[in-house]
A and B are shown apart, each in its own frame.
Chain A
Amino acid sequence: MSVNVRHPVAAEGQALEATPFPAQIEFCGVTKTYGQVTAVEGLSLTVQRGEFLTILGPSGSGKTTTLMLLAGFEAPTAGDILIAGKSVASVPSYRRDQGIVFQSYALFPHLSVRRNLDFPLEMRGVKAADTTRRVDRILARVQLSDLGGRMPSQLSGGQQQRVALARALVADPPILLLDEPLSALDRNLREQMQREIKSLHKEFGITTVYVTHDQDEALTLSDRIVVMRAGRIEQTDTPEALYDRPTTRFVAKFLGEANILEDTAVEVESDATRPFGTVAMIRPERICVADPTAPQRSDAIRRQVVAGTVDDMIYAGPLRKYHVRVGTSVLVVREHVASGQQIFRPGDEVRLDWLRSDVRFVAA
């Protein structure tokens, strides 16, 4: 076997305590078409060993297709996919060493939690004694030791999710794939599970590809994010860089809120010259709102100032959001609620200002 993926079971037979060996994944110009429809087009991407990569995009952007290709459920129409340097484009799913968490969890409803967890080990021919030990260990890790005998239908949503994660990890695969795993959970549980996934990733050091349409999940979990749109990669970067320096208008609007200044009647003053074919963008939290009569800030020289009228004020706990009419268009302004802050009402005249260096130029 020329694959340099070393699997603990496959290689030595019993080297069970070894941590999984994360694998590097490469997409080389991958295209997938269904009849007339192109789901993914010319996708090239490298996922480093042990990296947590998130594929983010709206529905129909090709993110799920990408995962299906990586999982071996679909074969690419063109291009190649390499896992640990070996082409896997036409390797069926059941000959790949991977763990997958499905959106619906896909727990076998006719098997108990324990038998669900046995399944991947059984398919790999792991002996009964080792199976028991490994299942016990992973059940303890996800705090479900007492629930091994339950049927999936007797578990809560969060517990089902943890079983699904445990089942994907129990065979120590070098790759973990997750397909919108948290979309069925409520908000509080979702945050808790995000922490759980993150800590499992750290502990297992496994190469992880996570597909979601939820920008918060992507920002919180990932080492790197790939933003997809209409079957193509729009931008790939770390969460911080992606949010702070989006290269396209789509990324700017999909990840957080963005004021595209070209859409407004605002004449942009900027330190840099505007590159050809781009528009200026500023994040709502970078804009300060103040009473027109208030004294100028000390760094006023580096700021652009416009006047507007408050259209609407939305209070959202820690944040306050203003829609401010400037000329014929509306700018969104977000500020953290703090004590002693002046609150503006619809109809109030306000002064908006922002640092000229906070303006970003994104491809239109």
Chain B
Amino acid sequence: MHASSLQTHHILDERDIYLLITRYLQNQTNTEENEILADWITASQENEQTFEEIKLAWQATALPKAVETGGALSRLKVRISEETKEQAHIKKLNPLNWGMVAASIAMISLISIGLLYLFYKQDSSQPVIHVLVTRAGEVKNITLVDGTKISLGPKSSLTYPDTFSSTERGIHLVGQAYFEVSKNPHKPFTVSTAELRVKVLGTHFNVDATRNQVLTTVSLFEGKVEVNPTHDSEDTYTLRPGQELSLDRNNLRVFQRSLDSLNVLGWMTKTLIFRNDKLSEAASKIENMYGVKLIFSDQDTADTRIYAQFNGDALDDVLTIICASGNLRYRKQGNKIYINER
């Protein structure tokens, strides 16, 4: 980014300003550049208007028109399955087909060129990406290079680099995690999930983006965060401590409410808390804690409300108590649990 950074004592022409504005809108500017931009915007009404116009135009081009790629993708899939079959066939029946051998050598060398390129990039100080994965019932703690502490919940994965860029700190989460972000106002910390992005300066919060759950929830304990849904990234919600924001994956609706810290952080102490929750909503928590799959016989069963709290109890105890309170019955088959009404 050095090449595109601005020098302080440089006189800005229109091109510099336009590019600075769009880089700012992409979160790519550093503090110094932000200050330069702020000064420029406040210098005149005309500048402010230009900024607004570029911002609107830029935002309006956020997504390209959806291009139909389905046809191309299915043609590629056909080719992949055909070539895989063909290769298996040739291995068995015709090991000395030299044309094929030549083709595979060509393919191997192409792949190696790809790898070489990747290794080469590694040497040029690209960050190395780590992925932390947890199994059912497992919680892992990690401290990132910037001092940020993260507890990763069961059946989750966290993708993070070993170094951050000079302007931002970005990580990707699938599942659930609790964050204590180290303060650095010059480098905002961003957690992205499939549904939303959470941008923070330094704070304590929990993100629950468990895949098989209807709601993605951000719960804030300390500090301040901004949340942008992925489907509409121009929409920004600011949370205050004690609040949580949920996004419903079915209808993309967003709602805020005050949080229940025991409920939110229960997973850290292997506690399950259900307060009049639907069984279907409780299911993913049970599944992630015990590594099982819950299957309901019908909608009524899935809609059964449960009110219970468990702390490290055995799976059978949890299921027995839930079933007793809802007049339900369960049957185990491998790691699948079938639940139906009595």
| A pairs with B | no
Report A's interface with B, CB cutoff 8 A.
none
